[in-house]
Amino acid sequence: MASIRDVAQKAGVGVGTVSRVLNGSGYVSAETKKKIEDAIEELGYIPNELARNLFRNRTGIVGVIIPDVEHPFFSNFVRQTEVALYNLGYKTMVCNTIGISNREKEYLDMLERNMVDGIITAAHTLEDTEYLKRKKPIVSMDRDFGPQIPMVGSDHIYGGRLAAEILLKNKCHKILHITGVAPDVAANDRHAIFETIMSEHGVEVVDVVMEWNRFDHEAYWEAARIGMRKYDGVDGVFAADQPALYYMHLAMAAGKRVPEDLKVVAYDGMDITKLCYPEVTSICQNTQFLSETCANTVVDLIENRKRVPHKQIISVEFRQGGSTLPVKLNGNL
Amino acid sequence: MASIRDVAQKAGVGVGTVSRVLNGSGYVSAETKKKIEDAIEELGYIPNELARNLFRNRTGIVGVIIPDVEHPFFSNFVRQTEVALYNLGYKTMVCNTIGISNREKEYLDMLERNMVDGIITAAHTLEDTEYLKRKKPIVSMDRDFGPQIPMVGSDHIYGGRLAAEILLKNKCHKILHITGVAPDVAANDRHAIFETIMSEHGVEVVDVVMEWNRFDHEAYWEAARIGMRKYDGVDGVFAADQPALYYMHLAMAAGKRVPEDLKVVAYDGMDITKLCYPEVTSICQNTQFLSETCANTVVDLIENRKRVPHKQIISVEFRQGGSTLPVKLNGNL
DNA sequence: GTGAAAGCGCTAACAC
DNA sequence: GTGTTAGCGCTTTCAC
C-alpha cells in the first residue's frame, strides 16, 4: 500500500505538492505534475480515504434507519434514497431496526462518532429525546419531532380522505379497517380521518389493530385471519398493502368475489398491489419524491447550504385497480 | 466536540491513560480511572471513530452490492445480511447497481480506499477482471470468479430438478419457461437442467427471455404479456417469483383457472408468492442461510481467522402452494 | 511554484 | 501505573 510519501519520494518532490495534484488545488507546474502523475501510475497509488476523512472530519456516508428493508415500502424507499444520495455524492449505510430500539440508538450514535455525516430516519422505536439531543443533521420521515428536526412525509390526511371516498362511492356498508402504525407517526392520520368520514356518512367500520413493529408474513396473516373470523358481512377493506392483500387472499379462498362481494383499497400502492389478480386499487405514496426530498434535505443540512423547511409534505395519488368499481374522485368529502 | 486531550487535561492525566481507560487496555488505578470517567461524563466526550479508523486502518463497514434492493429476493438478502453483519460487529453499506457497471466499480474501489473492510457482491454487471485484481476481502453470491474469490450460492441444479419434477407430476404438456438471469451466474443452472429434464420426458417447453438487468414492474409485465400473446395452450409455467406472478395474473384475467387450467411454479419463494391467491408453489432459496454464510465468510476473510472454502452451496426447498396439484417429490429424476 | 512542518484525534511503544 | 512521544496518511498554511 503505497502512501503519499512514497509517491513524493519517487517523483522527487514534497508531499504537499503531491496533495495539490491529487486535489487540483494550488499551483503546480505542468512538468512537476507530469512527474507526479507518472509516479502515482507506477506505484498504483490510491489515496487512503480514512486519512482524508480524519482531516476533513466527514465520511460522505449517510445513515438510513428504517424498520425493515424487507417491507416493500421501505425497500423502495431505501432504493430511491440510495440513488438520490449517490447522485449527491454520498454513500448509504442501512440499519434495520426490526423493532429493537437499541439498534436505532446505536446507529444514531454513529453521528457523534463521526462515522456518518447525517441520518435519515424512518423508524419509530426510540423516544424523541434520543433524537432531539443530537446536534448533527437528522431528517425524519413521517414523524414529527418538532421544529428542531426537519420532517418529510406524505399527505396522509388527503390519502385517508381518498380511501374513504372510494369506498363510499363503492357503496360499502361494513368496512374492515386494519390499522397498526407506530404511535406519533404522521401515517396514522389517514386512519383517523378515514374513520371520521365514514362515521359522518353512517357507514359501519370495524377495526383490527396490528402490532405496529412487526412486518413479517405471520403478522399479516394473523391480522387477516382475525378480520375474517371476527367480522361477518364485510364488503369493503381499507388497509396497508400487505394486510389488504392477505385479507383479499383469505376472502377469495373463502369463495368471495372481488370486487363483486368485496372491495379492497390498499394504502402505499407498491408494486405488490399490481402483481396480484385483481390488481388492487391503491392510495400510492410517491416514494421517489419522498426519497429525493429526504436526501436533498439531509445534504442541505450537512453542507448547510440553506435553511430547510420544517415540514415538507408530498402528495399521494389514487390508482384505480380491479378490486373496486371504477369511480371518479374529487377529494373534497 | 471534546477531544481526548480535553479529557486528559480536565482529569489531570496524560492522553495515554485516557486511551487505556477507553479501551480497557493496560493498567490504570481505580482512582485515576474514576477521575477520567468523571471527566468523560462531564464533557460528554465521545471518541472520534475517524481517528481510530485511521490508526487501525479499518472502518468496520462491509459493502453489499446488489442489482436492486427493491427486488424482493435482494431486499430479503440485504435485510438478513445486515442483521448477520451487525451481530458480527460490522455495519452495512448498500449499493444498488441498477445495471450500471460504473456504480459497481465505484463501490469496489472503496475497498482500495479503505472505506470498507470487505465486499459482498451479488451483482453481475462488471467484468471478472475488475474483481480479480482486488486484493481485499470479497465474497461473491451466485457468481463463480474462480478459486480466488469465495462464493456462496443456492443449489440451483437441484432447484431446477425439483421444478421439473413438480410440473411433470402435474402432467403438463406445454410449459412456458421465463428465463433471464445474468450470464455466468449460478442461478442460470436451474434453467439448463430444467430444459434438459423436460426434453428427456418429451414435454414441450417454450421460452421467454427477459433482459437480465431489469427488475421493474414494466419488464415483468412485458415478459408476461409476451408469454401470453406468443404461446397458446400453455398449461404450466416455470419462472422466477415475479414473472410467474405476473403471468398468473394475466392468465387469470383471461379467464384461466389456477391450478385447473394452469400450473405455476415460482423460483425464489419470497413472501410475495404467499400473498397472492392462490399461493404459488415455489422452490425456495434459503436467504437467511445464504446471508449468514456470506457475512461469516467475509468476516473470516477480514479478520483472517481461517481458510474459507471456495464454494459453499446452500440447499433449496420445495413449498407446496395452491398453484399446482399436491405432489410428493423425490428429487431424483 | 514548491518543500517543510503542523495537526486532524487517536493508539501503542517506551520511558520513568 | 502513568506521562510522553511517535506515528496512522492526509491537507493546508507558511516560508522560501
List pLDDT tens digits, range B116-173: 999 999 998 899 999 999 999 999 999 999 999 999 999 999 999 999 999 999 999 9
- Could A277 and B75 be called an inter-chain contact, meaning their C-beta atoms sit closer than 8 Å? no
Is the minimum CB–CB distance between A17 and chain B shorter than 8 Å?
no
- Could A93 and B98 be called an inter-chain contact, meaning their C-beta atoms sit closer than 8 Å? no
What positions of strand C are covered by protein, i.e. any atom < 7 Å from a CB? 1-14
pLDDT of A332 strictly over 80: no
Which residue minimizes Cα–C1' distance to D9?
A51
| Cα–Cα distance measured from residue A115 to residue A95, given in angstroms and rounded to the nearest whole number | 14
- B173 with B203: CB under 8 angstroms? yes
Distance B41 CA to D3 C1' (A): 22
| Cα–Cα distance measured from residue A153 to residue A220, given in angstroms and rounded to the nearest whole number | 24
pLDDT of B199: 97
Q: Does any strand D atom come closer than 7 Å to the Cβ of A312?
A: no
pTM confidence score:
0.96
pLDDT of B32: 95
Summary mean pLDDT of chain B: 96
> CB-based contacts of A311: which residues, under 8 Å, 6+ apart?
A144, A150, A151, A152, A153
**Strand B174-179 and strand B236-240: pairing?**
parallel
- Could A272 and B277 be called an inter-chain contact, meaning their C-beta atoms sit closer than 8 Å? no
- The nearest CA of chain A is from the CA of B165 a distance in Å of 26
List pLDDT tens digits, range A61-105: 999 999 999 999 999 999 999 999 999 999 999 999 999 999 999
The CA-CA-CA angle for residues A137, A140, A145, to 5°, reads 95
List pLDDT tens digits, range A128-184: 999 999 999 999 999 999 999 999 999 999 999 999 999 999 999 999 999 987 878
Phi-psi map region of B158: left, alpha, beta (phi>0 left; psi -120 to 50 alpha): alpha
